Every structure is written in structure tokens, then in C-alpha cells.
Amino acid sequence: MKTIKISNEYISYRLDKALSLILGDISRNKIQEYLKDGYILVNNKIEKPSYKLEENDELLIKDFPKEESSLLAENIPLDIVYEDDDVIVINKPVGLVVHPGAGNHSHTMANALKFYSDNLSSINGDFRPGIVHRLDKDTAGLIIVAKNNATHEFLSSQLVDHTLGRKYYALVLGSFKENEGKIIAPIGRDDKNRLKMAVDLKDGKEAVTNFKVIKRYNGYTLVECVLETGRTHQIRVHMDYIHHPVIGDPLYGKGNRIIYKDGQLLFAHEISFIHPKTKKKMTFNVNLPSYFTEVLKKL
């Protein structure tokens, strides 16, 4: 059980929307279920998911019921970059879905984690053991896993206050005049295609991406992107928004699948966070994978 006092950034947010940000990678449907059943109270009262948060509101979050697990443990190799009693840092390969969802009930990183360890956080239920944040299926790179609930909550709070750092390399279409820049453009669900996100200047959530040119090629640019926020498909949407779509992206952009068609060339090469026990900053880096470097060699 824990108590959270609502900070100014969540005032006027829908209760379920704010909780999805505060609690990390947990579905809105599950949050609504917990609200209905009284596992989450606002000022010691049950409120509807649509309740608009006010100044000085206080959330009481009780221990969630343990779900009956039907997640299959699968012996899928994990590239573990670092592990201790509290965290695991994994270099996720391209093509691996992080957790089960519609159409993906097995062969996910969650299935691999279930096989690898019995000591993982349970905050997001048995289908998402230890999973604090996500990477898209075709985005490879570093992802952090929590081995206990206290660590999960500590890391989730860093996601909220933007102290959990994530850096990505992206190969994008076109050339930049500038060497670096910042994209500030709110993101929401695309009205025409529910599989996509889009810049929504009216109703979208705050989204900020910093970028820096790493190397210029003929008609292409390798950039490093640093997230200040973590919206779904954020880098992919923002790069398309400024007319530099990520190469290979099947959802966003035009003319960006000529030299590579097997998914977006986007790679999470660095992650940094404050360790829950030592309170020291830890930073991990990995090199670009071979499928990415092979494309660069041909440019």
C-alpha cells in the first residue's frame, strides 16, 4: 500500500490517464478495474476513471490482487548487459515483442523473463513480470527490468520525472541544415488509424524529443534522439512530423522504405537511471547491431 499526493502536472487529468503515467506500463483497462474494485482511492473514496484530478488530491493505492498466471515460461535467450539483486538491463533484439498482447501470446520477452527468473516485480501483473517500460517490436536495444516491487515503483517514478534517461540512434530520410534541435509537439492517437499515433496540437499529451546529427550521408542522416517524455512511437512520430521519417518504418513516412523494409532503423543504445539501493546514477551503452551497420555501410 502506498500514498501519492498529486503533483501540479496532473491537475485536471482524468484519473485513469494520470494513473497510467504514474504506475508505468499498466493497461488503462486494468486501472479502471482496480478503481471500480476499490484498490485505488482518491481522498479515501472510490472515484470514477473519468474523475478530474484537483490540487491536493491524494491517492491511496492498495496492493493489487495477484492474477492467476497463464503466461507460458519459454526458454528464449536473453542478452543480459547487467544484473544485480534489484535490476536487469537487457539488450532486446529486433523482432521481439516485449509482452503479450493482441496476436502475441507467446514468444515475447515476458515469456523469456518468466523462464529466466521467479524473482520479478508483480506490479503490472503476471503477464508483464518486471516490465517497467517498453520498446516497439522492431526497435532493438536497452530495456530495464525490475526484480521487486520497490524497485519497480522507484524506476517508474523516474519515468514520470524524466530522470530515467534513454538515448536512441535513428537513420532518417533527408538531410538536416542544423546540427541539433528540439521537437516539442504533443502526441495522441491517430483518428483515422488506431494503430498509429500522431501529433495532436489540441488534445495530445506533451512530447519532447531532442536530436543531434551524428553523421550525414547522401540523402540520409544518422541522428541521436534523447527522450524527455516517453509517448508511444514518440521518435517515429516526431521524425515523420519534421519530414525526416525513420528508415524502414512501416507506419510512418513516405519514401523511407527503399533501402530497408524490415522495420524502423531505431536503436536504444543508452539507458541511465538512479539505482534504487545505492542511489548512484548508472549508465549502460551498447553498439549498433549488425543489421543496422550493414545498411550504413551501403550509404
Decide the pairing of beta strands 140-146 and 266-274.
Answer: parallel
Half-sphere exposure at residue 147, Cβ-oriented, CA atoms within 13 angstroms: 16
- Whether the CB-CB separation of 239 and 264 falls below 8 Å is answered with no
Residues marked active site are found at 136
Closest residue by Cα to residue 198 from 260, 168, 241, 155: 241
β-bridge pairing 266-274 and 220-227? unpaired
Cβ neighbors of 84 (< 8 A, separation 6 or more) are none
The closest alpha carbon to 171, from 108, 118, 239, 222, belongs to 222
Distances (CA, A) of 36 to 41, 43, 121, 169: 10, 15, 23, 42
Please give the Cα distance from 202 to 212 (Å, whole number).
27
Contacts of 42 (CB under 8 A, 6+ apart): 15, 51, 53, 57, 58, 59, 60
Cell triple for residue 209?
524529443
